[in-house]
Amino acid sequence: MTQARDEIKIGGLGASRKRVEDNRFVRGKGRYVDDIVLPGMLHMEILRSPLAHARITSIDVSKAWQIPGVRLVLTGDMMAARNLAWMPTLSYDTQAVLATDKVRFQGQEVACVVADDPYIAKDACEAIVVEYEPLPVIVNPAQAVAEGAPVIRDDKENQPDNVVFTWEVGDKAGTDRAFAQADVVSTLDLHYPRSHPSPLECCGSIADFDRSTSKLTVYMTTQAPHIIRAAVALVAELPEHMIRIVSPDLGGGFGNKVPVYPGYVASILASILLERPVKWIEDKTGNLISTGFGRDIYLRGEMALRNDGKILGVRMYTDSDHGAFFSDAQPSKFKIGLLHSAFSCYDIPVAHLVNRGVYTNKAPGGVAYRCSFRVTEAMYFQERMVQAAADDLGMDQAEFRRRNFVRDDDFPHRTPWGFLTDSGQYGKCLDVGLEAIGYQDFLTEKEEARKQGRLLGIGISTMTEPLGAGNSREYDILGIKMFDSAELRVHITGKAILRTGAKSQGQGHETTWAQIVAHELGIPAEDITVEEGDTDTAPFGMGTYASRSTPVAGAAVSMVARKVRAKARKLAAHLLEVSEEDIEWELGRFYVRSAPDHGVTIQECAIAAYSNMPDGMEPGLENVAYYDPPNLTWPFGCYIATVEVDPQTGVWDVLRVVAVDDCGVRINPMIVEGQIMGGLTEAYAMANMQFITFDAQGNCVGSNYMDYLLPTAWETPGYELHEVVTPSPHHPIGAKGVGECATVGGPAAFVNAVMDAIRDTGVRNIDMPLLPDRVYEALTKRHDVS
């Protein structure tokens, strides 16, 4: 008889283990960048441009220097003298660190002051006198490409206009043929507005250059410490082994903490010049107006349809607004992220996508806010178009989806834009969702309500999305391949420490990675410490974004545990005095096949690794694994919302939200549900209230929490969550990513529901957010509203 451990009891795969990091978070003991105080530390503040586009004619810093306690005033010219006025971005562009020639967006960094405390630094920023000569301002793609538009990036050679790139994918001629055969062509124009991830903790850094050792340590808010280390080595021309990046606890990231920001670079230079630690903590307005936003993209979609509901082909034309610098982090092969993952869950024979990216006088970014590299936009367009197409055909929207889904036995399936989806049960997920919401009953209720002048609507959004870049053949950032890593050390008493190249910002890696080790080795999860974010100790990895941690670093955790188990097996054979071939494994224990009671635990193997190894065996029980996934993982989500729209005011209330997520095997179901609830809340926020816009002068509207709204518990609807499990065929434990699914798929469910409720108006689209005045205008004026 064997003594297999109960996996749930030891906190292994499938255990809804409480989050270990919450022990310190709920006690106020988290250690964020701003909590770190170093001896002799100075404080830096940034002076930002009030104008969106202007030539700088002079900067007078003399008054700032006179303020007692000011230690350094940095301007673009001083940066330029050190070749640091411009820095490379993660998308092969350049970005101003401190402006020299022009300012190109409101909020751009113009100067920095370092002082004894942050208040002195802030006052001194206000004592700097900058003279600007205003230039015409561009705030959208149409203006950017208009005849005679001023060239924003006149700093660049070979940049005669404001076009960053044009990128196309698919089969143009084949798509044209499909459209020629269509019974119906459905079209839709949409704008996915600029939004902001707005993590509660803003960005910040503490640079600490120690002249005596030549070592630079930077504590900073980054989701990708190793990429930052490489970037600092290149920008500051420092040797990489003399740079240590530490990303401590993060108060949310949501993609906002991937790019390299001028504040980081300026604090590093200040520390090198002053030989003192220099802390920079961004304020909320600075964060909202200058750091990585999400979306800001216009789409025209066209769908070729057969009368029986079959989609024959799709065209997409998109204009993306990247702001003044093309700075987002995304796989270098794909200029507009993974936008071309649209329609991956549908069996569409042929498709063509053309994207044009432009510079405008707005903050740089575009890849952030739980977007999976712009898959948010892809799936929003997809599901809004699918609903419009079903309406045009007069077909039931659920039936239209089902008719076009890739079927369970059609995997692997090559999408028309080149992805390979490998698994899923799309029809089943939709069925679970429809059943849960009571679809047919709701349609009846809706018709009844309509007779009484009440407007009820139901919105469905179904999607599969690519999570887990790379594989290294196709995915790199600045040429660095997108694999990831894990290092596991089992100590003599059988406790362990695990480090990965990922970096949690709130997702719970300290809890879930230990569960994977528990699953592979049978060591209780509570005996495993998980550490991330310190480049001096963590193995090289590309960090956490695009929900890549479980698919890539999580897979590396499995693989490194398996390597450790392979060595433990040899130790077990030695201890049990049999040959390795005679050994069997069950959770946490090796035993002799012919005598199952005769066994040793993994902990006994650990002791032996340090005290009783066989002749010739290297001591110790540790290893490292680098994992390069063969494919992305393809989770599926089905989100269904029901709403009631008030015809008198345009206000809409959510009645119910049902979410069915298939992210393969769930490591920690409670954490997965938390991710989905958070994601749905962000989806609801974007559909209902959240956007950043600009006036004609490029002034940012949405620069504070009075204008940029975060939903509170009061208005956030409740969610009903359901699960389907289709394991990833290639991930070592069958898990797929999930961190962004609900934010990606959710918005279309809310918007489709409102559009369904007001269908009688004939209005095809209202752009997000669906503010009451926009809905009211649609109800009264009956034309498209944005």
Binding residues (CB under 6 A) for ligand CUM: these are: 223, 253-255, 258, 367-372, 545-546
Separation CA 784–CA 207 (nearest Å): 51
CB of 377: closest distance to ligand CUM in angstroms? 11
- Active-site residue among 371, 429, 663, 700? 371
Separation CA 641–CA 719 (nearest Å): 9
Nearer to ligand CUM, 358 or 371 (CB): 371
Q: Is 63 helix (H, G, I), strand (E, B) or coil?
A: helix
Distances in whole angstroms, Cα of residue 102 to Cα of each of 54, 134, 155, 529, 701: 6, 10, 9, 49, 22
287 residue type, one letter: N
DSSP state of 582: G
CB of 105: closest distance to ligand CUM in angstroms? 21
DSSP state of 619: P
Choice from 375, 463, 735, 754 touching ligand MCN (CB under 6 A): 735
Number of residues that bind ligand MCN (CB under 6 A): 35
Quickly count helices (H) and strands (E) in the chain.
19, 34
The side-by-side arrangement of strands in the sheet containing 243-246 is 70-75, 109-115, 42-48, 278-281, 204-210, 215-220, 243-246
Nearer to ligand CUM, 209 or 419 (CB): 419
Asked if 635 contacts 663 with a C-beta cutoff of 8 angstroms, the reply is: yes
Residue 112, phi-psi category: left (phi > 0), alpha (psi -120 to 50), beta (remainder): beta
Active site residue 370: yes
Choice from 252, 349, 596, 772 touching ligand MCN (CB under 6 A): 252
Confirm or reject binding of residue 525 to ligand MCN (CB under 6 A). no
Q: Summarize the chain as % helix, strand, coil (round to 5).
A: 30, 25, 45
Nearer to ligand MCN, 64 or 368 (CB): 368
Nearer to ligand MCN, 162 or 507 (CB): 507
Phi first, then psi, for residue 178 (nearest 5°) are -60, -40
Choice from 370, 374, 565, 574 touching ligand MCN (CB under 6 A): 370
CB of 256: closest distance to ligand CUM in angstroms? 8
Binding range to ligand MCN, per CB under 6 A, among 67-75, 83-91, 542-550, 759-767: 542-550
Confirm or reject binding of residue 600 to ligand MCN (CB under 6 A). no
Choice from 415, 423, 547, 726 touching ligand MCN (CB under 6 A): 547
Confirm or reject binding of residue 739 to ligand MCN (CB under 6 A). yes
- Structural tokens at position 620: 């110790």
Separation CA 275–CA 282 (nearest Å): 22
Choice from 545, 591, 636, 652 touching ligand MCN (CB under 6 A): 545
664 binds, among ligand MCN, ligand CUM, none (CB under 5 to 8 A by kind): ligand MCN
Q: Taking Cα atoms as reference points, which of 169, 156, 136, 162 lies closest to residue 89? A: 156
Confirm or reject binding of residue 664 to ligand MCN (CB under 6 A). yes
Nearer to ligand MCN, 253 or 259 (CB): 253
138 residue type, one letter: I
Binding range to ligand MCN, per CB under 6 A, among 288-296, 547-555, 581-589, 623-631: 547-555
β-strand pairing of 278-281 with 484-490: unpaired
749 binds, among ligand MCN, ligand CUM, none (CB under 5 to 8 A by kind): none
DSSP string, 383-395: HHHHHHHHHHHT-
Beta strands in 215-264 (DSSP E): 215-220, 243-246
Confirm or reject binding of residue 736 to ligand MCN (CB under 6 A). yes
Length of the chain: 786
Choice from 191, 229, 509, 570 touching ligand MCN (CB under 6 A): 509
Vertex 354 angle, CA 410 and 136, to 5°: 145
Residue showing tokens 């239209």 = 400
CB of 197: closest distance to ligand CUM in angstroms? 7
Choice from 76, 170, 193, 255 touching ligand MCN (CB under 6 A): 255
271 binds, among ligand CUM, ligand MCN, none (CB under 5 to 8 A by kind): none
- Active-site residue among 71, 194, 295, 370? 370
Separation CA 457–CA 782 (nearest Å): 17
Q: Taking Cα atoms as reference points, which of 2, 111, 142 lies closest to residue 49? A: 111
- Per CB under 6 A, contacts with ligand MCN among 180-199 are 199
Confirm or reject binding of residue 728 to ligand MCN (CB under 6 A). no
DSSP string, 685-749: HHHHT---EE-TT--EE--STTTS----TTTPPP-EEEE-----SSSTT-B---TTHHHHHHHHH
Confirm or reject binding of residue 681 to ligand MCN (CB under 6 A). no
Nearer to ligand MCN, 207 or 742 (CB): 742
CB of 561: closest distance to ligand MCN in angstroms? 15
Active site residue 223: yes
Largest CA distance in the chain: 87
β-strand pairing of 496-500 with 528-532: parallel
509 binds, among ligand CUM, ligand MCN, none (CB under 5 to 8 A by kind): ligand MCN
Confirm or reject binding of residue 217 to ligand MCN (CB under 6 A). no
CB of 314: closest distance to ligand CUM in angstroms? 23
Confirm or reject binding of residue 331 to ligand MCN (CB under 6 A). no
367 binds, among ligand CUM, ligand MCN, none (CB under 5 to 8 A by kind): ligand CUM
Choice from 287, 327, 423, 505 touching ligand MCN (CB under 6 A): 505
Confirm or reject binding of residue 512 to ligand MCN (CB under 6 A). yes
CB of 478: closest distance to ligand CUM in angstroms? 17
507 binds, among ligand MCN, ligand CUM, none (CB under 5 to 8 A by kind): ligand MCN
The site for ligand MCN (CB under 6 A) is made up of 199, 252-255, 370, 505-509, 512, 544-550, 663-668, 671-672, 675, 678, 735-740
* Residues that are catalytic: 223, 370-371, 740
